[in-house]
Amino acid sequence: MQDKGKFIFVTGSARSGKSFFAEKLAVKLGGKVSYIATCVPGDEEMRIRVAQHQARRPAEWLTVEEAFDPARVIKELDQPGHVFLLDCMTLLVSNLLLRTDMPLDEEQILARISELARVSSESAATVIVVSNEVGGGIVPADSLSRSYRDILGRANQVLASYADEAYITIAGIPVELKALTKGI
């Protein structure tokens, strides 16, 4: 049996510093880093965001673009000492929800997220998964946006439940959540 790595979940609102924190954490952990990118840029603004993320990453990191099945990447490249940084769950859920070639309902999407959480928690590598918290604002006006918000909220709960460590970033400051809930 392989050594078990660590599964770290990082969440926060937009521009809270979650990706930057996750990247610093991956550097600190050392070893070979594989960055799993879930973004499929559809416009110029998103291409600029992707370029900004790429510019921050060390050149030696392997970037794997995987819009639908990051669990497969982790299984294929898994080994002790390896670090996977998946950024981000928010876009993965969006990709799965809006997929036209293979439509998935909420139950099927959450089953895929549960599989990702299980694979991440059983990995010999360290796996860091980044996600947004999107449910803290107003209730969206349309059913697709409400469904997305609900699925992502449930997905985040699944991921956090499997994670060894769970962080929320607020104003660039990471707070470890599981340590705060020990004994509850």
Q: Look at residue 112 in the predicted model and tell me its pLDDT.
A: 97
Q: Quote the tokens at residue 21.
A: 């924190």
Q: Look at residue 91 in the predicted model and tell me its pLDDT.
A: 95
Tens digits of per-residue pLDDT, 8-17? 999 999 989 9
Q: Look at residue 1 in the predicted model and tell me its pLDDT.
A: 41
Q: What are phi and psi of 48, to 5 degrees?
A: -65, -45
Q: Look at residue 183 in the predicted model and tell me its pLDDT.
A: 72
Q: Quote the tokens at residue 60.
A: 């030696």
* Helix (H), strand (E), coil (C) string for 13-77: CCCCCHHHHHHHHHHHHCCCEEEEECCCCCCHHHHHHHHHHHHHCCCCCEEEECCCCHHHHHHHH
- Whether 82 is catalytic: no
Catalytic residue among 9, 25, 37, 53: 53
Which region holds residue 28: left if phi is over 0, alpha if psi is between -120 and 50, else beta? Answer: alpha
Residues in the chain with pLDDT < 50? 1
Extents of the domains making up the chain: 7-126+134-139+148-181
The domain at 7-126+134-139+148-181 falls in which architecture? 3-Layer(aba) Sandwich (3.40)
